[in-house]
Structure 1
Amino acid sequence: MPSIKRRKSHLIFINITVAVWATVMFVLFPACSGDKNQFAEAITERDSLPSMKTLGVTTLVSDSGITRYKIITEEWEIYDKKNPPYWAFEKGVYLEKFDSLFHVDASIKADTAYYYEKKKLWELRGNVHIRSQRGDKFDTDLLFWDEKQEKVYSDKFISIEQEDKVITGYGFESNQQMTEYQIYDNTGVFTVEDTAPADSTKKTVAKDSIQTDSIR
């Protein structure tokens, strides 16, 4: 009798082992067959969605305890799963940039903007308008602001309006304060003379013969 019981126990153990291995093979076999699309699609879909979406935003943004800029936007999305991660302002943005004393260095408007947080890089697109602290106005369709390198630049057409003249060209680089800048392919300097009579707002714009590549 004891031997019969041992034989039955041995058979039960074998049957359990076979059942376990059959289950394991059943689970693993589809995974080894190369069918991985479902997992990849799920991850891709997750990456394409913002981790945060906020509407009607007015906020101050700081870095290392110092307030750097004020943001006003209709829609703010954060994609922290993307490589590289970024903030998106696809319905327009208005920025005020502050210096260390909380003075406004520049105000910036654009139709679309992206901020790459790790790179500390702003990409501004569409009707980009900047007004510097001293009143100069900058207009272009594409502008990059690199906080790490402390510079602003573009390779597109740009117009810079000062108090007495308008400077145009292609390719531009400036310091963050927008006080020292250079146009690489200058297309002209236009002097603006307000010759309008008292009952008119007309201005006369004449092309200056001076070609200036570096403005300070």
Structure 2
Amino acid sequence: MKLNRWKYILLLTLAITGIGCREDLKDPDKEVKYTGPVMENKDVFTLYSDSAKLMIRMKAPVQQEFENGDGVFPKGFYVEFMQTPGKVTSTMRANFGRQDKGKEIYFAQGDVKVHNILKNEILETEELYWDRRRGTIYTDKFVKITTPTRVITGHGLRSDQSFENYTIQKITGMFDLEE
């Protein structure tokens, strides 16, 4: 009788222990997945060259990189374009940026300014796309271009990245500046 009693106690202990230690398996498709940045860099300084010639300098206070390679510039970025190495011909700045790594397209947002230093012309808009592969910038948003002699406003713009040759899609105003 004592032996049966010990078997009963042992079985009861194993059953309680087994039930207490059991973990419910979770469905991985229902788990909350982390979608934030996997890396964050501060004081980023990136150089782009063509045939070993420096053509673009890019600076950003913060760059966040995601698992798919895309990047975000939550505190904005500043870019210098050069047609000949070492000679800055135009600049671009924005308060926020996003990079599609696969397509090499950058999205600039918030007080976006492109300055053609050679022609002394400034483009201002709230959103702008920069296609680094094609060397173009474009937007469908409101734009304001200030030249030495006039201010032009409109909606939509297509240009080379140096902001040398551009087309405004829909001009809404042209104002001559008098000195």
* TM-score, reference length from structure 1: 0.64
- Structure 2 CA distance, aligned partners of 1:137 and 1:177? 11
Cα deviation digits, residues 55-99 of structure 1 (max 9, x gap): 2x15132256443422332211111x13xx312111122221223
Cα deviation digits, residues 94-114 of structure 1 (max 9, x gap): 221223423213111111011
Please state which structure has a larger fraction of its residues in helix.
1
2:28 is aligned with 1:67: no
- Structure 1 CA distance, aligned partners of 2:83 and 2:38? 30
- Structure 2 CA distance, aligned partners of 1:36 and 1:87? 26
2:27 is aligned with 1:35: yes
Where structure 1 has 5 or more consecutive residues not aligned to the other structure, the ranges are: 1-29, 195-216
Q: Match of 2:86, SS?
A: coil
The 5 A counterparts of 1:1-216 are 35-37=27-29, 40-41=31-32, 44-45=33-34, 48-55=35-42, 57-63=43-49, 65-79=52-66, 81-82=67-68, 85-134=69-118, 135-194=120-179
- Structure 2 CA distance, aligned partners of 1:86 and 1:100? 29
CA gap 1:118/1:189 in 2 versus in 1, 3 angstroms: same
The higher radius of gyration belongs to 1
Q: Match of 1:159, SS?
A: strand
Q: Which has the higher contact order (CA 8 A, sep 6+)?
A: 2
Q: Match of 1:99, SS?
A: strand
Contact conserved, 2:109 with 2:128, CA < 8 A, in 1? yes
- Structure 2 CA distance, aligned partners of 1:153 and 1:49? 28
One-letter amino acid of the structure 2 residue matched with residue 36 of structure 1? P
Aligned residues: 154
One-letter amino acid of the structure 2 residue matched with residue 59 of structure 1? F
* TM-score, reference length from structure 2: 0.76
- Structure 1 CA distance, aligned partners of 2:112 and 2:97? 9
Where structure 2 has 5 or more consecutive residues not aligned to the other structure, the ranges are: 1-23
- Structure 1 CA distance, aligned partners of 2:29 and 2:162? 50
Contact conserved, 1:110 with 1:127, CA < 8 A, in 2? yes
- Structure 2 CA distance, aligned partners of 1:58 and 1:148? 21
CA gap 1:94/1:174 in 2 versus in 1, 3 angstroms: same
Cα deviation digits, residues 158-213 of structure 1 (max 9, x gap): 0000010011000110112211111111011110012xxxxxxxxxxxxxxxxxxx
- Structure 1 CA distance, aligned partners of 2:95 and 2:154? 21
CA gap 1:138/1:116 in 2 versus in 1, 3 angstroms: same
Two-structure CA RMSD over aligned residues (Å): 2.1
Please state which structure has a larger fraction of its residues in strand.
2
